[in-house]
């Protein structure tokens, strides 16, 4: 944690250098880390996740006590939180978190702390609950929040805004493009788009474009007549026809072969589309098309791999799902939802406060899919115990093959900021040794793909 030697300054000036004392290396070979902080003009808020659900509390100028007592400034609904658990004070660009002698400890960046500095994105874990420090501007309104979508765990502000967007778009029949890193929950959101709209009673057909041989994509989409090409032994209706009256989800749309793209455009424009090998006029498609991609489709357009006209047709409404590391308050609720799904195999597992600290400190480059894999592995290690201890999570995290993510200097710097300037915690979250992490900060040479 960041510990300024002369006490906190009320404001941090641009480019002011602040050493990280706790991380200051003890060996002669290590260097002192320097970070430049840009001062914030707005204030801070906490995204809180406890038994009462998710909510946002704006931090004022005076220190506030967090605890389970009704007299605490921020009341946490959680039996594992002490009456007066910790105190949080705002100091300009930083917040100071102080444990008040709690029974189960206060965790910042995965480590149990007595006192620690945090900043934007810092997660404070108390008992079974989490508090994420987020920037708060007075006119902080970038969308209407709504109740969480059924089956989609997580009540962070980004997810509540996303829920509002999904419910609005569900009523329309125009195409929607869903963007997000791999494992972030794109299919889950597309299913919610279907379930929340008037087509919910109709079919939901999902097709992963990248999983099909290129020469078969067109016939899978639009169908074929018997004998239309070698191997076309039977007539096939195609995904568009199967999704009639419902939703057609085309995952990894960026992989759609360029020669199949005009036909998709025609279908979206309401023209009749024929099965391969069919004579006469075809039929108009009546399926709502939702596409998803984990790459920027605009880059594929620039490379000439994706038609610009089709791109503009698909991206009228775009839903962005933020990566898990940008909505840290969702980690624990999603982990609980996954553990509940795993109950038939492993019994209901409860996470210890230290295990929660570990989960919230990790960066989750593989997003929810990685979280699921880690929990499954940890549950297996737990072998019939009812509690998931931090050591089991740590072992599972070490074992989980990292989804290849290139950490450049900027990503490393952001990761460091999220962990309050604590290099050890940031390196743990990025899953690289501390020395490598320091190198990344200065040189930006990312770990090579596995
Ligand atoms: N908010 C959430 N609540 C509960 N489970 C979730 C949530 N988000 C994702 N998951 C689970 O995480 C896994 C990955 O989600 P999903 O398949 O929707 O990701 P994706 O973004 O479509 O991935 P890809 O880009 O690799 O296709 C699934 O098991 C899904 O059920």
Nearest atom in ligand 1 to 188's CA: 18
Identify whether residues 128 and 193 lie together within a single domain: no
Residue where the block lists tokens 């906490």 = 46
Q: State which residues form the domain around 417.
A: 409-444
Say how many Å lie between the CA of residue 181 and the centre of ligand 1.
10
Ligand 1 neighbours (beta carbon < 6 A) = 152-154, 180, 182-188, 251, 294, 334, 337, 368-369, 372
Nearest protein Cα to ligand 1, atom 10: 185
Q: Which residue has the higher pLDDT, 448 or 278?
A: 278
Say how many Å lie between the CA of residue 367 and the centre of ligand 1.
8
Identify whether residues 60 and 95 lie together within a single domain: yes
Is the model's pLDDT at 173 over the cut of 50? Answer: yes
Structure confidence by residue, pLDDT tens digits, 46-76: 999 988 888 888 888 788 999 999 888 898 9
Identify whether residues 168 and 296 lie together within a single domain: yes
Confidence of residue 407 (pLDDT cuts 50, 70, 90): low
Report which DSSP code applies to 325: G
95-96-102 Cα angle (round to 5): 130
Is the model's pLDDT at 31 over the cut of 50? Answer: no
What pairing do the DSSP bridges indicate for beta strands 115-118 and 94-99?
antiparallel
Say how many Å lie between the CA of residue 370 and the centre of ligand 1.
10
Structure confidence by residue, pLDDT tens digits, 198-234: 999 999 999 998 887 877 888 888 887 777 677 777 7
Average pLDDT over residues 353-372: 91
**HSE (side-chain half, CA atoms, 13 Å) at 361:** 32
CATH number of 101's domain = 2.60.200.20
Instruction: Report pLDDT for 408.
Output: 67
Instruction: Report pLDDT for 129.
Output: 94
Q: What is the secondary structure of 158-195 as a DSSP string? A: HHHHHHHHHHHHHT--S-EEEE--TTSSHHHHHHHHHH
Nearest protein Cα to ligand 1, atom 15: 185
Say how many Å lie between the CA of residue 325 and the centre of ligand 1.
14
Q: Which residue has the higher pLDDT, 119 or 20?
A: 119
Structure confidence by residue, pLDDT tens digits, 136-152: 776 555 667 888 899 99
Do the domain assignments include residue 36?
A: no
Do the domain assignments include residue 32?
A: no
Identify whether residues 180 and 307 lie together within a single domain: yes
Identify whether residues 295 and 328 lie together within a single domain: no
Structure confidence by residue, pLDDT tens digits, 238-260: 898 899 999 999 999 998 999 88
Do the domain assignments include residue 145?
A: no
Nearest protein Cα to ligand 1, atom 23: 183
Residues ≥6 apart with Cβ < 8 Å to 27? none
CATH number of 298's domain = 3.40.50.300
Instruction: Report pLDDT for 224.
Output: 77
Q: How many domains does the chain divide into?
A: 4
Residue where the block lists tokens 């057609």 = 248
Nearest atom in ligand 1 to 251's CA: 27
Q: What is the secondary structure of 265-276 as a DSSP string? A: HHHHTT-EEPPB
Whole-structure pTM value: 0.70
Structure confidence by residue, pLDDT tens digits, 93-119: 889 999 999 999 999 988 999 999 998
Instruction: Report pLDDT for 233.
Output: 72
Say how many Å lie between the CA of residue 433 and the centre of ligand 1.
28
Instruction: Report pLDDT for 402.
Output: 52
Q: Which residue has the higher pLDDT, 11 or 88?
A: 88
Counting ligand 1 atoms within 8 A of each CB, the residue from 180, 187, 322 with the most, and so the one to mutate, is: 187
Do the domain assignments include residue 24?
A: no
ipTM score for this prediction: 0.97
Structure confidence by residue, pLDDT tens digits, 297-333: 888 888 899 998 999 889 889 999 999 988 988 999 9
Q: Which residue, of 320, 344, 372, is where some domain finishes?
A: 320
Instruction: Report pLDDT for 138.
Output: 60
Report which DSSP code applies to 425: H
Say how many Å lie between the CA of residue 449 and the centre of ligand 1.
22
Do the domain assignments include residue 55?
A: yes
Identify whether residues 330 and 383 lie together within a single domain: yes
Do the domain assignments include residue 35?
A: no
Average pLDDT over residues 398-406: 57
Report the share of the chain in percent with pLDDT over 90.
42
Do the domain assignments include residue 125?
A: yes
Identify whether residues 171 and 313 lie together within a single domain: yes
Nearest atom in ligand 1 to 189's CA: 18
Question: With contact defined as beta carbons under 8 Å apart, do 157 and 143 qualify?
Answer: no
Nearest atom in ligand 1 to 337's CA: 4
Per-chain mean pLDDT for the chain: 81
Instruction: Report pLDDT for 178.
Output: 95
Identify whether residues 310 and 332 lie together within a single domain: no
Nearest atom in ligand 1 to 182's CA: 25
Identify whether residues 198 and 265 lie together within a single domain: yes
Nearest atom in ligand 1 to 154's CA: 1
In sequence order, the β-bridge partners of residue 106 are: 113, 126
Distance between CA atoms of residues 203 and 225, nearest Å = 23
CATH number of 396's domain = 1.10.8.60
Do the domain assignments include residue 360?
A: yes
Identify whether residues 59 and 190 lie together within a single domain: no
Nearest atom in ligand 1 to 190's CA: 18
CA 293 to chain CA mean position, Å: 15
Identify whether residues 213 and 235 lie together within a single domain: yes
Identify whether residues 162 and 307 lie together within a single domain: yes
Say how many Å lie between the CA of residue 369 and the centre of ligand 1.
6
């Amino acid at each position: 944690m960041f510990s300024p030697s002369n006490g906190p300054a009320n404001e941090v000036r641009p480019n002011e250098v602040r050493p990280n004392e706790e991380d200051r290396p003890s060996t002669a070979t290590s260097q002192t880390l320097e970070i430049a902080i840009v001062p914030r003009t707005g204030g801070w808020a906490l995204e809180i996740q406890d038994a009462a659900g998710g909510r946002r509390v704006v931090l004022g100028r005076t220190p506030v006590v967090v605890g389970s007592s009704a007299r605490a400034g921020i009341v946490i609904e959680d039996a594992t939180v002490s009456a007066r658990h910790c105190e949080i004070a705002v100091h300009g660009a930083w917040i100071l978190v102080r444990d008040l002698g709690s029974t189960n400890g206060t965790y910042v960046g995965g480590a149990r702390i007595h006192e620690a500095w945090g900043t934007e994105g810092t997660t404070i874990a108390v008992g079974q609950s989490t508090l994420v420090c987020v920037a708060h501007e007075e006119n902080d309104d970038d969308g209407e929040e709504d109740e969480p979508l059924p089956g989609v765990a997580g009540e962070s502000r980004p997810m509540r805004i996303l829920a509002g967007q999904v419910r609005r778009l569900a009523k329309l029949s125009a195409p929607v493009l869903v963007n997000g890193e791999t494992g972030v929950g794109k299919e889950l959101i597309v299913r919610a788009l279907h379930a929340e709209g008037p087509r919910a009673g109709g079919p939901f057909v999902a097709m992963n474009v990248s999983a099909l041989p290129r020469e078969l994509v067109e016939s899978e989409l639009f169908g074929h007549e018997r004998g239309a090409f070698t191997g076309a032994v039977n007539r096939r209706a195609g995904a568009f026809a199967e999704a009639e009256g419902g939703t057609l989800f085309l995952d990894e749309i960026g992989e759609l072969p360029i020669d199949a793209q005009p036909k998709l455009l025609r279908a979206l424009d309401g023209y009749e589309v024929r099965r391969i090998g069919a004579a006469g006029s075809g039929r108009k498609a009546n399926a709502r098309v939702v596409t998803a991609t984990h790459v920027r489709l605009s880059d594929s357009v620039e490379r000439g791999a994706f038609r610009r006209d089709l791109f503009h047709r698909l991206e009228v409404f775009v839903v962005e799902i933020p990566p898990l590391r940008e909505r840290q308050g969702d980690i624990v609720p999603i982990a609980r939802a996954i553990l509940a799904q795993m109950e038939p195999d492993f019994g209901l597992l409860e996470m210890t406060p230290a295990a929660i600290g570990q989960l919230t400190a990790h960066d989750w480059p593989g997003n929810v899919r990685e979280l699921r894999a880690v929990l499954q592995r940890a549950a297996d290690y737990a072998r019939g115990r009812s509690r998931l201890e931090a050591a089991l999570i740590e072992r599972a995290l070490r074992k989980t093959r990292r989804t290849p993510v290139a950490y450049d200097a900027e990503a490393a710097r952001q990761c460091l900021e999220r962990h309050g300037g604590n290099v050890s915690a940031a390196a743990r979250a990025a899953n690289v040794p501390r020395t490598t992490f320091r190198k990344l900060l200065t040189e930006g040479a990312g770990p090579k793909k596995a």
